[in-house]
Amino acid sequence: MVDQSAALPTVSLWCGAYTSPHGTGLGISALGTGLNAAGLNAAGLGTVHVEVAAAADSPSFLVEHPTLPLLYAVAEFDGMVQAFRRAEETALEPLGAPWPAGPAACHVFVDPDGRFLVVTCWGDGAVLFYGLDAAGQIVSRQSAAPATDPYPGDARQSRAHATALLPDGRILTTDLGYDLLRVWRVDAGTSTDAGTGTDAGTGLRLDQELPVGAGTGPRHLAVHPSGHVYVVTEYSIEAVVIGQDAGERFEVIDRIPATDTGAQPGDAAAEISLNETGTRVYVTVRGSNRLATFAVQDAGARLELIGDVDCGGNWPRHHLQRGDWLFVANQLSNEVTTFALDPSTGLPTTPLGSIPVGSPTCLIARSVR
């Protein structure tokens, strides 16, 4: 039974999806939820709007520019990254031509100052740095140093997967194939792109490589204000805590199973996120389709699993937490499922309902600009 007094605030999201032949999505969608005068509808969500904002090819990961009305998307199967400009509040149009990335480009990160993008590629392990001009257009592309497998033996493929910003300004990327974290410094340099006068920097300079454990598969990241980093491992189904020693070198300081029951056959952990207060971490696991909640302990140095629930659909590829609400992109059941979070514990309650979206892969907040 849905508590009809639990009013869902207006929430605006962008949603990436796999399109044909890899899924049933239609491109980048604009999702909106909110209550109408009649309260909650049969889906438990009140008013729901789903509009196709751009008919892109498998835009599997998205990020908004920090200040401009722009969005960047990776076209995973085309190996491209594309900038989009808002033509209307929920409509997007390409800004310039797409830029080549690498095979299976699966994640895009934007610098908080809007100076550059980082794209990571699952297919060949490439970490790519793109300079942006003052209008947010991509103006340059550089490849970062390739990874070396720290666990020699059977031949394996480097598979870069995600990027995060550290509190000290360094960049952290995961390599799922080599079970590796890579720390980078942004080398701003003094070079400019011909014809634009824009300082595009000289890319990423490797600062440290940290093996996480053979066969773990570090996938996505969440960064605590304390500087601790939480990593979800796709293969070993764990939440790993990374901290710094006295010399500011990162090291693994804790690791725990990502669900109450541990890894099940066919499981693949997906996303990890941190709430706004830095007190709760959420992890989704595909296969057994679980949504787990962790309490942050010891000033960020330790995680404690306090419970997990069914994710409300099939194959939870990504999720987004906004205030007291958590949205799960259930890729194979073609829906975004909404949970209310208990304000005292942070635990998800019974799912309120679902928004029908074909093959959703990524959810980000849609700014009002």
Residue 4 in domain: no
SS3 content of the chain, % helix, strand, coil (to 5): 0, 55, 45
Residue 5 in domain: no
pLDDT digits 0-9 by tens, 62-80: 999 999 999 999 999 999 9
Tally of CB atoms within 10 A around 77 = 17
Q: What is the rounded distance in angstroms from the CA atom of residue 275 to the CA atom of residue 236?
A: 24
pTM for this predicted structure? 0.92
**Is the pLDDT score of 272 beyond 80?**
yes
Residue 75 in domain: yes
Q: What is the rounded distance in angstroms from the CA atom of residue 285 to the CA atom of residue 53?
A: 28
- Going by the DSSP 8-state scheme, the letter that residue 17 receives in this structure is E
Residue 2 in domain: no
Q: Count Cβ atoms within 10 A of the Cβ of residue 241 and give its class: 0-12 exposed, 13-18 middle, 19 or more buried.
A: buried
Q: How many residues does the chain have?
A: 369
Band of pLDDT at residue 49, cut at 50, 70 and 90: confident
Phi, psi of 47 (to 5 degrees): -70, 130
Residue 37 in domain: yes
Mean residue pLDDT across the chain: 90
Residue 325 contacts residue 8 (beta carbons within 8 Å): yes
| pLDDT at position 257 | 97
Residue 3 in domain: no
Radius of gyration of the chain (CA): 20
pLDDT digits 0-9 by tens, 119-128: 999 999 999 9
pLDDT digits 0-9 by tens, 282-295: 999 999 999 999 99
Domain that holds residue 41: 11-365
Number of domains in the chain: 1
pLDDT digits 0-9 by tens, 306-349: 999 999 999 999 999 988 899 999 999 999 999 999 999 999 99
Strands (E) across 111-203 are located at 116-121, 127-132, 138-143, 160-165, 171-175, 180-186
Q: Which two tokens stand for residue 350?
A: 């019974």
| pLDDT at position 189 | 53
Residue 1 in domain: no
Cα 250 off chain centre by: 22
State the CATH number of the domain containing residue 40.
Answer: 2.130.10.10
From 63, 58, 66, 56, select the one nearest 19 (Cα to Cα): 58
| pLDDT at position 307 | 95
